[in-house]
């Protein structure tokens, strides 16, 4: 199928889809740093720099839109689709209304918090637009760990079609996992654990043998990689950018073109990786678009409440919920320490002390004594090593 990509980022959807024969006809992305990456890896594909000035859609079978999540995320401004950035998804429907030939398929990607924010108004607006345009739709929350990546990254995939049944693509597969979902109050010595070192008092994105979601960094452009605790070594560090790229499913070095572009900072690579779509997730969708499965219709339950479940489908005002896991495939992600290829950068004494102090003062989270003690050992060891370094 031919693909037109809006909000292309660094091409995560596109390189995943291309693994199953899809051909990208047009990219559209406003971020200069992302465009440097797209220019390098998609040199023969036309690139438009602003969806708001895109006059029309070329003929295509699939239109993708990993539209901005900042106004829909838990960490963002929570303005929803009224926000300046996430509200740009309205441009998709402007282009659809004006299209001479509407795409056969539409694929949207965003954060699960959109199902909750403002009582799910964002998803209600999207599905209403799809109903009006004559598209049947289905959505599902999926976890990147299902696709072999040791990153706990949950995303909503919303697929719609004018001619086919999107349920046979998104809702036909259900894998299994033996993943242990534990809490920071109960740890084992041996596994690696990921967490946000900038938090600690109210939350930390705790994950066993995985990182929490890779983030784009602060509003000031400062990278904010997650921390990884190697429990058997009393060591806390952060991954290098190349491993962050791999945690997202890209080849190491995918964002290196930023380094050669004028007036761009190297730190932009973290923003690009944090905002990207996981290619293995897109590859699963591409595989099912090429060869649909069969949705078990008996799993559908009429959606009576206004709350959006983790998976649902609808057409022309009808809504049905589906009880299905976030794991389309068998969860077989590598152990986190085995997955990483580059040495972790030790978390500084100051950063570790700050997190440890917040964790010990927290009334919301019960932190294990083993973790708190291991942080103390890390601080003590790093303090000695810092003193030993000549001025």
Closest-CA residue to 144 (of 222, 55, 64, 211): 211
CB atoms within 10 A of CB 65: 24
The four Cα atoms 65, 22, 143, 331 give a dihedral, to 10 degrees, of 180
The sheet carrying 207-208 orders its strands as 207-208, 192-195, 227-230, 235-238, 345-346
| Contact in structure between 319 and 50 (CB atoms under 8 Å) | no
The span from the CA of 358 to the CA of 50, in Å, is 42
278 is catalytic: no
Instruction: Output 97-102 pairs: Cβ under 8 A, ≥24 positions apart.
Output: 97/133, 98/56, 98/57, 99/56, 99/57, 100/56, 100/59, 101/59, 102/133, 102/134, 102/162
The span from the CA of 353 to the CA of 49, in Å, is 43
Among residues 28, 60, 69, 278, which one is catalytic? 69
- What does the block give as tokens for 250? 């890209």
The four Cα atoms 309, 279, 11, 221 give a dihedral, to 10 degrees, of 70
Residue with tokens 């979902």: 181
Would you give the DSSP letter of residue 261?
S
Which residues are catalytically annotated?
69
């Amino acid at each position: 199928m031919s693909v037109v990509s809006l909000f292309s980022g660094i091409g995560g959807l596109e390189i995943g889809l291309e693994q199953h024969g899809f051909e990208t006809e047009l990219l559209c992305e406003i971020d200069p740093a992302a465009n440097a990456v797209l220019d390098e890896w998609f040199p023969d594909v036309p690139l438009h720099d602003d969806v708001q000035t895109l006059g029309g859609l070329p003929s295509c079978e699939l239109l993708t839109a990993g539209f901005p999540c900042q106004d829909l995320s838990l960490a963002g401004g929570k303005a929803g689709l009224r926000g300046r950035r996430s509200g740009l998804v309205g441009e998709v429907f402007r282009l659809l209304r004006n299209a001479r030939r509407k795409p056969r398929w539409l694929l949207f990607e965003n954060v699960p918090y959109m199902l909750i924010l403002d009582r799910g108004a964002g998803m209600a607006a999207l599905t209403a637009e799809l109903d009006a345009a004559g598209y049947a739709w289905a959505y599902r929350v999926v976890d990147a760990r299902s696709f072999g990546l040791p990153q706990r990254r949950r995303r909503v995939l919303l697929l719609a079609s004018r001619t086919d049944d999107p349920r046979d693509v998104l809702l036909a597969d259900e894998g299994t996992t033996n993943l242990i979902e534990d809490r920071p109050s109960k740890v084992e010595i041996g596994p690696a654990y990921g967490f946000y070192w900038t938090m600690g008092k109210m939350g930390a994105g705790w994950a066993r043998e995985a990182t929490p979601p890779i983030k784009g960094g602060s509003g000031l452009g400062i990278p904010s990689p997650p921390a990884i605790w190697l429990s058997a070594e009393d060591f806390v560090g952060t991954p290098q950018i190349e491993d962050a790229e791999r945690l997202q499913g890209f080849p190491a070095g995918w964002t290196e073109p930023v380094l050669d572009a004028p007036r761009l900072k190297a730190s932009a690579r973290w923003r690009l990786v944090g905002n990207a779509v996981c290619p293995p997730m897109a590859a699963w969708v591409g595989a099912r678009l090429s060869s649909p499965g069969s949705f078990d219709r008996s799993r559908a339950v009429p959606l009576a409440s206004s709350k959006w479940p983790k998976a649902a489908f609808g057409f022309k005002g009808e809504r049905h919920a589906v009880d299905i896991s976030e794991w389309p495939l068998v969860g077989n992600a590598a152990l986190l320490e085995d997955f990483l290829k580059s040495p972790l950068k030790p978390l500084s004494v100051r950063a570790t002390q700050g997190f440890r102090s917040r964790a010990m003062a927290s009334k919301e989270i019960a932190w294990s004594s083993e973790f708190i003690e291991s942080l103390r050992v890390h601080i003590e060891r790093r303090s000695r090593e810092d003193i030993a370094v000549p001025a």
